[in-house]
Amino acid sequence: MRMTGADILLECLLEQGADTVFGYPGGAVLNIYDSLYKYKDKIRHIITSHEQHAGHAADGYARATGKTGVVLATSGPGATNLVTAIATAQMDSIPLVAVTGNVNLDLLGLDSFQEVDITGITMPVTKHNFLVRDAGDLAGTVREAFFIAGDGRKGAVLIDIPKDVTAAFADYEPAENGYRAANALKKRENPDLERQIKEAAELLRVCERPYIYTGGGVISAGAEKELALFARIIDAPVSSSLMGQGCFDQTDSRYIGMLGMHGTKAAAETVRHCDLFVALGTRFSDRVTGDKTVFAKGAKILHIDIDEAEHGKNVTPHIEVRGDLKEILARFNKMLPRRHNGDWNKKAKRLHSVHSAKQKGTVEFPVTPQAVITELDRLTDGEAIITTEVGQNQMWAAMYYRYKTPRSFISSGGLGTMGFGLGAAIGAKIGKPEKVVVNIAGDGSFGMNMNELITLAEHNIPVIELVLNNSVLGMVRQWQRLFYGKRFSETTLDRSFDYMKLADAFGIAAFKIKREDDVEPVLAKALETAKNRPVLIECEIDRDLNVLPMVPAGKPITDPIMEID
Amino acid sequence: MVNRGFQSRAANHAACDMEKQTFVLRTENRVDALRRVAGIFSRNGCNIETVNARPEGNASVMEITVFLSGEKARELKKALNRLYDVISVDVKAK
Ligand SMILES: Cc1ncc(C[n+]2csc(CCOP(=O)(O)OP(=O)(O)O)c2C)c(N)n1
Ligand SMILES: [Mg+2]
């Protein structure tokens, strides 16, 4: 079949099951948008206010559904606006395909109008990227891009297409089989797998105090069922990283909270006392290990991950197993005997029950994030998808909502991108319309993406935007309080604009939480309203609340600050 | 030739075990392959002493020499191998 490059692109998206695209038009993608006009019934396009948030929406869509997200932007500024979103997805190993237009082939390299070398710019923040110079290569490239994004350790892939390539005609044949890159698959083969599994199984058999630490890799591998059984078989306490939230049911008695800078005391103490630290699908981020030289010193470390470059990168394991977590855990579940570590588990559980102090409000701002998020958890029965911005709001969202299933907590872990949450919520809601979707935001982050309230209104996307308004860049302020002598340089936001009027201007329902008595009724009303329209909630909180516990960067994980005067 | 890589760190660690390492890579013969490979070295603060790249069949063979500790070289090997275009990586210490 002879078709234009633009039509080939869309046919190939459909081949991949990508029926939803987030994006923003412009000169270099006019041909693609012209084709989208024709494919309206088959491909849904959601236009945002800004390309960055289209990128986050595609990312949120991917995190919520497990499918590969697709974002489309024009050349030059459209493409550079995508960079933060691409880096955000890549850092969290989220499958994303970003398509950008570029200037005509003969204008490349000449500093032409709206030309940027976007493949060069995004090289360090993508898993791979392509510049397509021939319409005849387009179909193969799109298939390859989807393969790369979703294969092994997932990630972001960019395809840059000059405008004349989208206009040129080429032959297109629908593909029968999914593309498989022989080289990539070969590199993933692990000749040592059997030996590694045997050695790991031996460790698991002889240990006395095992501890399971789970990361985002469990979610991308879809290994939650295998994990649940594995935890029962080896009878170990479980904790999750920020990225791993929800891969293990947090209402399960084995769960002892998050591990890391703002993890629970119980999770950290258990690291100290365990004799086998089982790390699943995780990269030992510096936000988790703290001082690496003393991390899990008393334990053997077993690290299971699909990416060989993660073994020994941050923490050197005693035994590493490289491969697909779902398969490996299933193997362990078959070969290991069931065991009982009664006292050890009791100890971990006891630690978990004593640790966390209740947040206290003030006379002027009596409402606490803990009270709001706990109530939200109760009213939604822990079944909502929670997206977050970055800062204290993000940590509170991770700490106080109890995630029961994978893909219910969506947050920028690796890059820590303020402005991520609202776009991500849009994508999550489009991908999972049956779910309640709440973006837990901070007022600073809200300033970075409030333009996307327009998107909520325009497409009537019934997301709840819950702003925890402390009038400060709370997390930075917390560091200034602790480490910079309370010199609150540029973190006090005296922006007394009216959230209610702002929402009203966009045509969005708005509610305010100010008193403790507001919490339950306002949340209930917002949830009711959000059955068919978007909602903004402003919740006023005190500016001096801290996220606790906190392990200062680079300090031993076992020694968190529990209180700050 | 004077080694310019890791200058400041080398000064701090007089006994640093840096040695000459030659990375031999086979990559897909694509326009960007060398740039991607070079990016891994520069990101790790590692100065390339010499580089030689030539086509061989459908592939490209690159020989890159740098001064690195053995441990860092093992780490970089994995990071290089992770690149989609890279087919294989070998490290030869001198
Ligand atoms: C794009 C971006 N810029 C700056 C930062 C640094 N930063 C991290 S947390 C934070 C404060 C966030 O403020 P707010 O959204 O009000 O959240 P709070 O901590 O008050 O809950 C800042 C500025 C960042 N993470 N991302
Ligand atoms: Mg704030």
What digits encode the pLDDT tens for the residues A487-512?
999 999 988 899 999 999 999 999 99
Residue bearing the bigger pLDDT, B94 or A261: A261
Task: Specify whether the CB–CB gap between A65 and A429 falls below 8 A.
Answer: no
Ligand 1, atom 8, lies closest to the CA of A391
Of A120, A148, A308, the CB nearest to B78: A308
Average pLDDT over residues A276-305: 96
Judged by average pLDDT, the poorest of A276-290, A520-534, B11-25, B77-91 is: B11-25
Query: What is the DSSP secondary-structure string of A327-357?
Result: HHHHHHHHHSPP---HHHHHHHHHHHHH-PP
Q: What is the CATH number of domain A190-354?
A: 3.40.50.1220
Average pLDDT over residues A229-254: 97
pLDDT reading at B13 higher than 90: no
CA dist B51 → B21, B23, B35, B46, B55 (Å) = 12, 10, 12, 13, 14
Mutate to test the interface with A, among B69, B84, B89 (most CBs of A within 10 A): B84
H/E element, A119: helix A118-122
List CB contacts (< 8 A) between A119 and chain B: 32
A169 among known catalytic residues = no
**Angstrom distance (rounded) from CA A258 to CA A288:** 10
A114 among known catalytic residues = yes
Catalytic residue among A113, A169, A483, A497: A113
Query: Would you say domain A369-540 falls under CATH 3.40.50.970?
Result: yes
What digits encode the pLDDT tens for the residues A91-124?
999 999 999 999 999 999 999 999 999 999 999 9
CA distance B70 to chain A (A): 14
Burial class (CB in 10 A: 0-12, 13-18, 19+), A249: buried
Closest residue of A to B82, CA-based?
A309
Which domains, from first to last, does chain B contain? 18-93 (3.30.70.260)
| Average pLDDT of every residue of chain A | 96
What digits encode the pLDDT tens for the residues A350-363?
888 766 678 999 99
Judged by average pLDDT, the poorest of A189-198, A327-336, A351-360 is: A351-360
Across the beta sheet with A128-131, the strand order is A44-47, A20-23, A69-73, A96-102, A156-162, A128-131
**Angstrom distance (rounded) from CA A443 to CA A539:** 10
A475 among known catalytic residues = yes
Q: For chain A, give every residue range classified as CATH 3.40.50.1220.
A: 190-354
Task: Say if the Cβ atoms of A183 and B87 lie within 8 Å.
Answer: yes
Distance A519 CA to ligand 2 centre (A): 19
| Average pLDDT of every residue of chain B | 85
Task: Say if the Cβ atoms of B35 and A124 lie within 8 Å.
Answer: no
CATH number of this structure's domain A2-187, picked from the four choices 3.30.499.10, 3.50.50.60, 3.40.50.2300, 3.40.50.970: 3.40.50.970
Average pLDDT over residues A391-395: 98
Distance A419 CA to ligand 2 centre (A): 12
**Residue A355: predicted pLDDT:** 60
Nearest to A293 by CA among A550, A552, A555, A549: A555
Binding-site residues, ligand 1, Cβ < 6 A: A 389-393, 416-419, 442-445, 468, 470, 472-476
Phi, psi of A47 (to 5 degrees): -90, 135
What digits encode the pLDDT tens for the residues A245-255?
999 999 999 99
Q: Hey, how many other C-beta atoms are within 10 angstroms of the C-beta on A195? A: 12
